[in-house]
């Protein structure tokens, strides 16, 4: 049976990791000329990671509620 | 995830399943090739009068329909995370399938999913050691279970 506390901790850490990646990619993008085709590629990557963060943040809320309900 | 178009070698088998490979130019301009997987939605744009033919549009997976959000632990093991991503991209369609794939390299790995009631959100949790472990950055560089932390090889 999965432990919601472990899942919550893993989710929190995963969000931090993803957010760090977004920052790194944004900085990389800022260093490029806006006309550089790599800008679009980086933007898509950032969009994908940000979408994952949104889902994980919602999962985090659900897990917190589950844990609080258990207490 | 953006829409992507492509065409190549898509056929329907006698039992009605799709098989074949597709290649397409995605929203970033990169050419990608993959085998048809159940997580892809394939819309035929031309038929040979019998069934599906080789031309099709592959629509990227939409939120809640396809690729789950992936949470990997330990969070700072980029090699493990990349291996998880790669297995999902290659068609691991369920947590048990992903777990089986991971155990070739990480024998203690475990995977389970969580769904949020009322939300179209699916999260898969992949634990390299079978349970949560502290990341090495938090332990000052100590590897909690170094025995199974070797990375995938030959890929």
What are the residue ranges spanned by the domains of chain B? Answer: 5-59, 69-148
Nearest to A56 by CA among B134, B73, B2: B73
Would you give the end-to-end CA distance of chain B in angstroms? 26
* 8 A C-beta contact, residue B96 and residue A38: no
Nearest to B71 by CA among A54, A56, A5, A60: A56
Beta bridge partners of A70: none
For residues A32-58, average pLDDT? 92
Chain A contact for B72, CB < 8 A?
A: yes
Half-sphere exposure of B110 (CA within 13 A, CB side): 12
* 8 A C-beta contact, residue B148 and residue B74: no
Q: Exposed, middle or buried, B12 (CB in 10 Å: 0-12/13-18/19+)? A: middle
**Closest Cα in chain B to A43:** B28
Buried b (16+ CB within 10 A) or exposed e, A40-60: ebbebbbeebeebbebbebbb
Tens-digit pLDDT profile for chain B (155 aa)?
333 344 445 555 554 445 555 555 444 555 555 554 443 444 444 444 444 333 333 433 333 445 789 999 999 999 999 999 999 989 898 999 999 999 999 999 999 999 776 667 889 999 999 999 988 765 443 343 444 444 565 44
Q: How many distinct structural domains can be found in chain A?
A: 1
pLDDT value of position B115: 79
pTM of the model as a whole: 0.65
Residues of A in contact with B73 (CB under 8 A): 6, 10, 13-14
Say if the Cβ atoms of A55 and B135 lie within 8 Å: no
Q: Which of B112, B114, B131 sits opposite A59 (nearest CB)?
A: B114
- Within chain B, residue ranges assigned H as helices are 78-89, 95-103
* 8 A C-beta contact, residue B133 and residue A9: no
Q: Which residue segment(s) compose the domain that A10 sits in? A: 4-70
The Cα–Cα gap between B63 and A68 comes to 28
Residues of A in contact with B125 (CB under 8 A): 2, 7, 10
Chain A contact for B31, CB < 8 A?
A: no
Q: Is the dihedral of CA B136, B138, B141, B145 positive or negative?
A: negative
Residue A30: enclosing H or E segment and its boundaries?
helix A4-30
Q: What is the ipTM of this complex?
A: 0.89
The Cα–Cα gap between B39 and B46 comes to 21
Chain A contact for B120, CB < 8 A?
A: no
């Amino acid at each position: 049976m999965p432990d919601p506390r472990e899942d919550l901790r893993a989710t929190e850490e995963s969000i931090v990791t993803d957010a760090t990646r977004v920052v790194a990619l944004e900085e990389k993008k800022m260093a490029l000329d806006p006309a550089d085709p790599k800008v679009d590629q980086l933007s898509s990557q950032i969009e994908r990671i940000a979408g994952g963060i949104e889902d994980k943040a919602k999962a985090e809320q659900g897990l917190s509620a589950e844990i609080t309900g258990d207490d | 995830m953006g829409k992507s178009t492509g065409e190549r070698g898509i056929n329907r088998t006698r039992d009605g399943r799709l098989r074949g490979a597709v290649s397409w130019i995605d929203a970033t301009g990169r050419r990608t090739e993959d085998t048809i997987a159940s997580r892809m939605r394939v819309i035929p744009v031309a038929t040979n009068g019998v069934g599906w033919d080789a031309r099709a549009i592959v629509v990227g997976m939409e939120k809640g329909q396809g690729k789950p959000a992936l949470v990997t632990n330990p969070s700072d093991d980029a090699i493990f995370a990349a291996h998880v991503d790669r297995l999902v991209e290659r068609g691991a369609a369920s947590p048990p399938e992903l777990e089986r794939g991971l155990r070739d390299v990480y024998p203690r790995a475990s995977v389970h999913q969580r769904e949020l009631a009322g939300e179209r959100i699916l999260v898969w949790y992949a634990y390299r050691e079978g349970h949560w472990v502290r990341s090495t950055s938090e332990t000052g560089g100590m590897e909690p279970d170094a025995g199974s932390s070797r990375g995938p090889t030959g890929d």
